Structure 1
């Protein structure tokens, strides 16, 4: 076999692998999204990050292995790698890993729930106790204000009282 043809076949095989790598990289985002749901804006930012990093990596690979020349068969090789990986492995793998991580996340959240349960109970008990104490202080302060107003009204000396006394 001609040496150049062997080099081109190796490059094509490498492009197929790069297609697989790129989708594995994207599947990491898909798994994270299933474990930690997020809004459309954050998904858009993640996709922009993915495509930016992917394009830089593809350019670097093309530059190193093919002197920066973009060839149709290289793009076809990456597309073929993506297609093979997506149709054979991607969806079941994402479901399996995301399901496993969701179970771990659920277990961790349950443990945290158990750890915090006594503190929540204390918070409810002391919260009700504090609200009772707060209401009591509020009633006391209202009564003190009423007494002060009453005392203030009764202690006012009018001009006619001065004339009578003096």
Structure 2
């Protein structure tokens, strides 16, 4: 086989692999999104960052392997790699791994819930208890204020009686 044809065939094979790599890395993002859901804005930002980095890596690969020349068969090779990976592996792999990680996440959250349950119970009991104590102190302060007002009035009355009688 001619050396130039072999070089082009190797380059095409690398492009097919790069197409697969791109979708593998995107599937990692999809798995993370399924385990830790996020809003549309953050997903959009992640996609922009992903495709920017992917574009830079593709440019680097083409520059190193093909002197920066973009060829139609290179793009076709990447598309073919993406298509093969997506149709054969992507969906079952994402569902399997994200399902497994969600089960681990659920187990961890359940253990954390069990560990924190006594503290939450004590916190709620303490919170209700503190509220009752606060209400009691408030009633005591109100009664003291009423008592002080009554005693001031009675002291004013007794002082005026002394002035009249004395």
Normalising by structure 2, report the TM-score. Answer: 0.92
Q: Distance in 1 between matches of 2:154 and 2:69?
A: 100
TM superposition shift of 1:26: 0.4
Q: Give the 5 Å matches for 1:127-146.
A: 127-146=127-146
Q: Which moved more, 1:138-147 or 1:99-108?
A: 138-147
TM superposition shift of 1:164: 3.3
CA deviation vs aligned residue, 1:10-48 (integer Å, no higher than 9, x gap): 000000000000000000110001001110111011101
Q: Distance in 1 between matches of 2:149 and 2:68?
A: 89
Q: Distance in 1 between matches of 2:6 and 2:141?
A: 93
Q: Aligned residue for 1:49? A: 49
Q: Aligned residue for 1:95? A: 95
5+ residue gaps, structure 1: none
Does the alignment pair 1:31 with 2:27?
no
TM superposition shift of 1:161: 6.4
How many equivalent residue pairs?
166
Q: Distance in 2 between matches of 1:52 and 1:78?
A: 16
Q: Aligned residue for 1:61? A: 61
SS at structure 1 position matched to 2:38: coil
TM superposition shift of 1:123: 1.2
Q: Which moved more, 1:143-152 or 1:123-132?
A: 143-152
Q: Aligned residue for 1:78? A: 78
5+ residue gaps, structure 2: none
Q: Distance in 1 between matches of 2:156 and 2:50?
A: 80
TM superposition shift of 1:165: 6.4
SS at structure 2 position matched to 1:11: helix
TM superposition shift of 1:162: 8.4
